[in-house]
Amino acid sequence: MTKNVGTLDRAARAILGLVLLYLAFASGLLLFEGALVKYGAAVIGAVMLVVAAVRICPLYSLVGIKTCRA
């Protein structure tokens, strides 16, 4: 598969992924006490980090979006 995630998009996904993982496991907020919200945020955060690492977004491929230059 071709890379379709640009540098700015990649950085934003990495930051969002880290924030979601922090909120899910270390924040102590009442919103994230429920299992659905806690593990939902953790899964979404992990997916964001993986997409940032490999620079390939399957959803972008389906829609035809490409935020990288080459």
Distance of alpha carbon 24 from alpha carbon 42, whole angstroms: 6
31-59: pLDDT as tens digits: 999 999 999 999 999 999 999 999 999 99
pLDDT at 1 (0 to 100): 77
Q: Is 51 exposed, middle or buried (0-12, 13-18, 19+ CB in 10 A)?
A: buried
pLDDT at 60 (0 to 100): 93
pTM of the model: 0.88
Written as six digits, the tokens of 15 are: 């930051």
Q: Residue 70 falls within a domain, yes or no? A: no
- What's the Cα-to-Cα distance from 32 to each of 5, 18, 26, 42, 55, rounded to whole Å? 29, 15, 10, 10, 28
Q: Residue 20 falls within a domain, yes or no? A: yes
Q: Residue 52 falls within a domain, yes or no? A: yes
The per-residue pLDDT of the chain, averaged, comes to 94
pLDDT at 26 (0 to 100): 94
3-state DSSP call for residue 9? helix
Domain with 42 in it: 7-63
| pLDDT band at 69; cut points 50, 70, 90 | confident
Q: Residue 22 falls within a domain, yes or no? A: yes
- How many separate domains does the chain show? 1
What kind and span of H or E run contains 56?
A: none
